[in-house]
Amino acid sequence: MKVSRGALEIVAVSPAMIELVKVVERLADARSTVLLAGESGTGKDLIAHLLHYGGARSGGPLIKVHCPSIPEDLLESELFGHERGAFTDASATKVGKLEMAEGGTIYFDQVQDLSLPLQAKLLRVVEERRFERLGATRTIEVDVRFVSSANVDLRRAVEQGSFRDDLYHRLSVVPLTLPPLRERREDIVPLAEHFLARGREHYQTPARTFESAVLDLLKGYRWPGNVRELRSVVERAALYAQHGTISSAALPAHVLEEPRALWIGRSRHLSLREVEEAYIRFVLEQFGGSQTRAAAVLGISRKSLWERRRRFGIP
Ligand SMILES: Nc1ncnc2c1ncn2[C@@H]1O[C@H](COP(=O)(O)OP(=O)(O)OP(=O)(O)O)[C@@H](O)[C@H]1O
Ligand SMILES: [Mg+2]
């Protein structure tokens, strides 16, 4: 299934992602506070966008606060704004991001990086939806939806004392978790095809399809960088591909090498000789005709690959 909302396109094939998208669509019209958890590259930003653009607040602004990139001393005035003269550099009144998000959504990306003093200030805003600009006495009320994301386990951060317990509970009224890509392998091929199609549109790359060996390699890889990593592997492969079909030669070495480790780990009941033969057959299959590539993955010369093929009778 592919969900489209304006420019947003979300691929969801695994039961976990289908369920997540359903929940997000049900929540989109509400003002409920959502916390998105998941490893880096799993799609938290994309889901935050779907929450906003897929619902009643889509006419209002989506204001993103990328917590790690704004220096601590600036973040407070970025969020709350300030009055002229509130501090030495405050030569003009500044409207903060909370005010800018009026009628829409404010998205705290990587909220784990907020300092403890700012967490205390944010707590009041999330609870009361009121605050003052720095240096002001007038209280401002806002109608905003709070969405946050964290790519570390926020509960652990609470246990370790780097995140406030009360703020955690306020932000996680609706907790949603994006599973790592390796735990929803059904999504891998549809995502790869999606990124290939996008690549054709944006970079006019000629590739249309993947060799089936490539799809096997993509499905077998662990994807520590999740969907973001898959996207860059596919876009890169599409740029390198000369023809309509992407072959395994276009994949980066680490994606090619991983099956070797996995495969050996599962072969405990074979003799060494059998393992060697079967593995050579496996690698040759993965790389179609390319002896050079197969020999490189096996870590032997082309000559010894040729000798082994003769010995094992591999055509
Ligand atoms: N289900 C999906 N369908 C289509 N594209 C996706 C999907 N999930 C992720 N992507 C794409 O993968 C990339 C990474 O996703 P995103 O930026 O949302 O990850 P993230 O969880 O916010 O990562 P980080 O924690 O590093 O900020 C983006 O280009 C996004 O569009
Ligand atoms: Mg993100």
Identify which of 34, 35, 46, 153 to mutate to test ligand 1's pocket (most ligand atoms within 8 A of the CB): 46
Domain boundaries, the chain: 2-179, 183-312
Domain 2-179: homologous superfamily in CATH? P-loop containing nucleotide triphosphate hydrolases (3.40.50.300)
pLDDT digits (tens, 9 = 90+) for 182-232: 999 999 999 999 999 998 888 788 888 998 888 888 988 889 999 999 999
Task: State how far the Cα of 106 lies from the Cα of 103, in Å rounded to an integer.
Answer: 10
Strands 245-246 and 209-210, bridge-based pairing:
parallel
Q: What is the pTM of this model?
A: 0.82
> Residue 119: what are its φ and ψ, rounded to 5°?
-60, -40
Say how many Å lie between the CA of residue 274 and the centre of ligand 1. 42
Shortest-distance Cα residue to atom 25 of ligand 1: 40
Say how many Å lie between the CA of residue 43 and the centre of ligand 1. 3
Ligand 1: which atom is nearest the Cα of residue 2? 3
Say how many Å lie between the CA of residue 151 and the centre of ligand 2. 8
> Residue 152: what are its φ and ψ, rounded to 5°?
-125, 165
Class of domain 183-312: mainly alpha
Ligand 1: which atom is nearest the Cα of residue 109? 27
pLDDT digits (tens, 9 = 90+) for 246-258: 988 888 888 887 6
Task: State how far the Cα of 24 lies from the Cα of 121, in Å rounded to an integer.
Answer: 28
| Statement: residue 303 has pLDDT above 70 | yes
Residue 91, Ramachandran bin (φ over 0: left; ψ between -120 and 50: alpha; else beta): alpha
Q: Is 51 in the pocket of ligand 1 (CB under 6 A)?
A: no
The DSSP code sequence of 228-266 is: HHHHHHHHHHHHH--SSEE-GGGS-HHHHHHHHHHHHHT
Residue 307, SS3? helix
- Over pLDDT 70: what percentage of the chain? 95
